[in-house]
Structure 1
Amino acid sequence: MKRPTITAPAALPVPGPEAALGLACASPGATGAAGSGPVPRPRADAVRNRERILAAAREALVEFGTAAPLDEIARRAGVGNATLYRHFPDRPTLVHHVVLFVMDRVTLLAETVLARTLAADGPDAFDALCHFTHGAADERIGALCPMLSGDFDRDHPELLASRAALEEAVESLMVAGQSCGLLRTDIGVGDLLIALSQLSRPLPGTPCFDGDLYVHRHLQLFLDGLRAPAHSVLPGAPTTLADLRRKTM
């Protein structure tokens, strides 16, 4: 079975560039708190550099984990070390923003696919789930694994809000598939997210692009096992969102 082709949104907003640049986002003519004049916008090249750093860090986190060398991230992004540190002064800050970056992109992908499914001429719910799963792998959802590390601030308000939005979007996709009888009912959202994260991470030390072919082959094998009617009995109980939260807290 040929895997569904998904075109992930190429120009999704990057979370909070103004905060990282120490600038406030303002509409034309907006003034500062003291009324001293227009609030400056971040320069276009600064925003581009931030996006390139986040994209490079996303790949490096999938490949090397949170120990990814920062100078290697800067090299892949095509910027100097000083530029990287100007945007992200330390490793925890960078990891935090990469996780936000990935979660927000994957959430928008899920919402977009679900909206197309609900349209009269849209794909069926199972095909939509396949589109989402392959697209999420291309977005390097494996970069979210730092959330499992002991020193990651999982309770940061930004993270909680982004995670809730992601969970809601994925759950809606799965409910759509199960309610129309296309997706087996003995699985939970946690089953999908855990398998997706595990299957989209390359072997240690293997560049991301070398494993992309196998990632999508193995994901499609996994997805075929989710199709209803089920041809086997799964051990244990479905992994719910509550189970997943307990594993990451």
Structure 2
Amino acid sequence: MAEVMRADARRNYEQLLAVAREAFAEHGTDASLRDVARRAGVGIGTLYRHFPTREALLEALMSSGFDALQSRAEELLAASSPRDALLVWLRELAVGSTTYQGLPASVMAALREEGSELHASCHAMRASGGRLLARAQESGAVRADLVIGELLALVAGIAWASEQSTGHDLIERLLSLSATGFAADRSPGSAPA
């Protein structure tokens, strides 16, 4: 929030975030906003003053996670293996995307909708992931025709599939299988797929 909030407004804001975090953990990203306001002890109008849309509330909850993924990508740019760095980042993205039921779909929608509240946070994370992908492509470890949007869609699909099953073992397995598919073909005389 650009302007300084009054103390009571700040308390309401923080309380709404805490309750929304719990509600989204219990019921997914489609949790009732009326219930969030009620559990926070404020009216629905107060919730909408702070968070005009569900996406604005999600953005407030997820922005620190997206910022962490952006920073992590920047750190991984110095890793000795560009391929492994990319896979580490994709794994962290997939696991983080399972924080709330329905989050992978919300993130993919935000990446498509430039006007959404989540888009700016997602865009910075996407750009950092794009630099990791470019580095892995330049090293010859990843196929040159892969673009970051496709890779993020793949990871969102993996996170969604993981939501439908139990545990993060599926994330590991599907990422491993996917990495085989986006690896550069190194056989002599082979054309890119």
- TM-score, normalisation: structure 2: 0.68
Q: Is the 8 A contact 2:76 2:132 kept in 1?
A: no
What is the aligned partner in structure 1 of residue 24 from structure 2? 57
One-letter amino acid of the counterpart of residue 70, structure 1: S
Query: What is the RMSD of the two structures over their aligned residues, measured on CA atoms?
Result: 4.0
CA distance in 1, matches of 2:104, 2:134: 23
- Within-5 A mapping of 1:96-175: 96-99=56-59, 101-102=61-62, 105-118=65-78, 122-140=79-97, 143-146=103-106, 154-156=114-116, 158-175=117-134
CA distance in 1, matches of 2:127, 2:95: 20
For structure 1, list consecutive stretches of 5 or more residues without a partner in the other structure: 1-15, 26-38, 235-249
Closer, same or farther: CA 218–92 of 1 in aligned 2, 3 Å: farther
CA distance in 2, matches of 1:225, 1:180: 17
194, 197, 200: which one pairs with 2:153?
A: 194
What is the aligned partner in structure 2 of residue 47 from structure 1? 14
- Within-5 A mapping of 1:223-238: 223-229=179-185, 234=193
CA distance in 2, matches of 1:198, 1:40: 41
Shift of 1:81: 5.9
Give the count of matched residue pairs. 182
Tell me, what secondary structure is at the counterpart of 1:80? helix
CA distance in 1, matches of 2:129, 2:121: 12
Structure showing the higher helix proportion among its residues:
2
Whether 1:217 aligns to 2:176 is no
CA distance in 2, matches of 1:203, 1:116: 25
Tell me, what secondary structure is at the counterpart of 1:200? helix
Shift of 1:88: 3.2
One-letter amino acid of the counterpart of residue 212, structure 1: H
CA distance in 2, matches of 1:52, 1:221: 38
Tell me, what secondary structure is at the counterpart of 2:160? coil
- TM-score, normalisation: structure 1: 0.55
